[in-house]
A and B are shown apart, each in its own frame.
Chain A
Amino acid sequence: MATQHSRSAARLMMAPAVILLLGWMLVPLTMTLYFSFKKYLPMRGGDLGWVGFENYIRFVTSSSFWPSVVTTLTIVGGVLLITVVLGIFLAILLNQPMWGQGIVRILVIAPFFVMPTVSALVWKNMFMDPNYGLLSYLWEFFGAQPVEWLSKASMTSIITIVSWQWLPFATLILLTAIQSLDSEQLEAAEMDGASAPKRFAYITLPHLGRAITVVILIQTIFLLSIFAEIFVTTGGAFGTKTLSYLIFQRVLESQNVGLGSAGGVYAIILANIVAIFLMRIVGKNLDA
Chain B
Amino acid sequence: MARAVTTNRKIINTAVAWGIGLLVFFPILWTILTSFKTEAQAIADPPIFLGFDWTLENYAVVMERSDYGKYLWNSIVIAGGSTILGIIIAVPAAWSMAFVPSKKTKDILLWMLSTKMLPAVGVLYPIYLLFIKMGILDSKIGLVIVLMLINLPIIVWMLYTYFKEIPGEILEAARMDGASLKEEVIYILTPMAIPGIASTLLLNVILAWNEAFWTLNLTAAKAAPLTAFIASYSSPEGLFYAKLSAASTMAIAPILILGWFSQKQLVSGLTFGAVK
A270–B93 Cα distance when bound, in Å, is 29
- Contacts known (A228-B227, A232-B231); A93 close to B16, Cβ less than 8 A: yes
Pick from A27-35, A52-60, A149-157 the stretch touching chain B.
A27-35
Please give the distance in Å from B189's CB to the nearest CB on chain A: 12
Q: Are B21 and A107 in contact (CB under 8 A)?
A: yes
**Which A residues touch B24, using CB under 8 A?**
107-108, 110-111, 164, 167-168
- Contacts known (A28-B127, A98-B10, A115-B210); A272 close to B231, Cβ less than 8 A: no
- Count A interface residues, CB 8 Å: 108
Please give the distance in Å from A110's CB to the nearest CB on chain B: 5
The interface bits of chain A over 249-271 (1 if a CB of B lies within 8 angstroms of the residue's CB, else 0) are 00110000100110111011011
Q: Are A111 and B274 in contact (CB under 8 A)?
A: no
Q: Tell me if B60 counts as interface (CB < 8 A to partner A).
A: no
Number of A-B contacts (CB under 8 A): 308
A108–B20 Cα distance when bound, in Å, is 8
**Which B residues touch A221, using CB under 8 A?**
113, 116-117
Closest to B119 in A: A267
Max count, chain B CB within 10 A of own CB: residue among A18, A115, A214, A248: A115
One of B96, B119, B212, B256 near A14 (C-beta < 8 A): B96
One of A119, A173, A260, A263 near B270 (C-beta < 8 A): A173
A122–B9 Cα distance when bound, in Å, is 36
Q: Are A225 and B114 in contact (CB under 8 A)?
A: no
Pick from B62-70, B97-105, B192-200 the stretch touching chain A.
B97-105
Query: From residue 1 to 47 of chain B, which have CB atoms closer than 8 A to chain A?
Result: 1-3, 5, 9-10, 13-14, 16-18, 20-22, 24-25, 27-28, 30-31, 34, 43, 45-47
The main secondary structure of chain B at its interface with chain A is: helix
Query: From residue 98 to 128 of chain A, which have CB atoms closer than 8 A to chain B?
Result: 98-101, 103-119, 121-123, 125-127
Q: Are B271 and A283 in contact (CB under 8 A)?
A: no
Q: Are B126 and A114 in contact (CB under 8 A)?
A: no
Q: Are B121 and A247 in contact (CB under 8 A)?
A: yes
Q: Are A24 and B149 in contact (CB under 8 A)?
A: yes
Max count, chain B CB within 10 A of own CB: residue among A35, A261, A286: A286
